[in-house]
Structure 1
Amino acid sequence: MATSDYDSFARAYAAANESNLFNAYYARPEMLRLAGDVAGRRILDAGCGSGPLAAALRDRGAVVTAFDASAAMVELAREKLGPDADLCVADLGAPLSFPDDAFDDVVASLVLHYLEDWSGPLAELRRVLEPGGRLILSVIHPGIYPIVYPEADYFALTRYSEDYDFDGQSVVLTYWHRPLHAITDAFSAAGFRIATISEPPPAPDTPAELLPPGLPESGSFLCFLFFVLEAA
């Protein structure tokens, strides 16, 4: 599935994204925590979807530029961020139109696991970052794959699909699994240094009814894996 296929269910996905456990109370809060104080920083939101992370970063004082491969998602982001927002339709799998060293930070939340090849996208994100800039990203935790698919080869780059329900609309999403060493090797090859790896619990204000049953005392569960990378 191409990211632009989100056009067919963009509004349903955006509605679910606003209040569900995985986006609203897990991925987005952790991305913001890792970003820290962003006041005045030029930030590119790569794969912005309907714009909730971009909006939160802008509310914290960042100067935000955002893009998504889905035109429908970009339109929803424009509804959220306003007509003057710096938004465009662009594909992370192709060269980006931004100049070199244009941003202090790039955020890419739950984007890279849709892509088979990471070398080109990571090289482009490194190019548009200032030296010393940060790429803050999240992907599906690779440790989930062998749990859900115990007969599969954890060490193989593998395409797989799963069914979801977004606000009553049934959707099939397709991902690429890669083992942890392949993830970190790709970062190094693109000129990034790993500054932080995070496996957080959900946000403290997560409604109890959204949490999975039987959580350990730590409150954490396998879901997404978060990185802060520094551009060498």
Structure 2
Amino acid sequence: MKEQIKRTFNQLAHAYENSVDKVSLHNREYERPSMLRNIPNNIRSMRVLDAGCAAGWYTEQLINREASVVATDLSPDMVAATKRRVKQKAEVICVDLEKDLPFDDNSFDMIISSLTLHYIKDWEKTFGEFQRILKSNGVLLYSVHHPFMDIQISQNEDYFAKELLIDRWNKEGKIIEVPFYRRPLNEMINVTTAHFIIEKVIEPQPTQAFKTESPEKYEKLMKKPHFIIVKAINKK
């Protein structure tokens, strides 16, 4: 499955680099504003990991806020896209978040992971590594699919089961099958609290710009959330 996910995001890299930032309301006017509100404007003295950087939008935002940034992605094509975006301003490498991470203990002040963790089947190893590389009181900020959204496309309709699902995205006129894992909210929270203290759980709402551009989708998101964001503190 991991190789399939890698191939999928290699296919998506061109769209992420060239059109997602402008076209995708779910990114531009839904998930990103809420995430950015939870990142300090000035993080000059901080070393930040962008875990699952895609084409580097968040990497660039972190650089603009004067952080020292390391960006990682499973997809080599996404890594290449991020390098084109940020040039030499960040370290950008291919990393599998399900394995031992190539970083020293206590080497980051913050980890940002945007819409990435639902591509990982088992979170325990990943969160253990996040805890290891974060400094004491370091911040983990992540966004994932909201379980209430995922259950609507479930095949077995068993909310409490972990389930591999295939979504179909229309990107640049192509239909691309995107595999991901659905899991119940209690599993998300319990794995997080095994390693971190949760400071905040955010169910983002779309912006007024979203409402202007797509009032029908806006109304749907106001009633049925698609994403959930968790801000947690390293408790070691």
Please, what TM-score do these two structures have when normalized by structure 1?
0.92
Alignment equivalent of 2:18, drawn from 10, 15, 29: 15
Could you tell me how far apart the structure 1 residues matched to 2:30 and 2:217 are? 16
Alignment equivalent of 2:212, drawn from 184, 208, 211: 208
Distance 1:34 1:224, change over 3 A: same
Identify unmatched segments of 5+ residues in structure 1. Answer: none
Alignment of 1:57-68 (within 5 A): 57-68=62-73
- Larger fraction in helix: 2
Could you tell me how far apart the structure 2 residues matched to 1:54 and 1:220 are? 31
Give the C-alpha shift of residue 120 in structure 1: 0.6
Give the C-alpha shift of residue 209 in structure 1: 2.2
Alignment equivalent of 2:109, drawn from 100, 104, 107: 104
Alignment equivalent of 2:186, drawn from 181, 184, 193: 181
1:228 aligns with 2:217: no
- 2:68–2:90 Cα contact (<8 Å) kept: no
Question: RMSD between aligned alpha carbons?
Answer: 2.0
- 1:94–1:121 Cα contact (<8 Å) kept: yes
Give the C-alpha shift of residue 219 in structure 1: 4.7
Give the C-alpha shift of residue 145 in structure 1: 2.5
Could you tell me how far apart the structure 2 residues matched to 1:169 and 1:50 are? 18
Question: Matched residues, percent identical?
Answer: 30
**Could you say which residue in structure 1 is the equivalent of 2:143?**
138
1:120 aligns with 2:125: yes
Could you tell me how far apart the structure 1 residues matched to 2:106 and 2:56 are? 23
Could you tell me how far apart the structure 1 residues matched to 2:209 and 2:132 are? 37
Q: Deviations over 1:134-188 (max 9, x none)?
A: 1000000001123334851001111111111112121101111110111111112
Alignment equivalent of 1:39, drawn from 27, 37, 43: 43
Could you tell me how far apart the structure 1 residues matched to 2:217 and 2:210 are? 14
Could you tell me how far apart the structure 2 residues matched to 1:76 and 1:142 are? 30
Which residue identity does 2:39 align to in structure 1? A
SS of residue paired to 2:210: coil
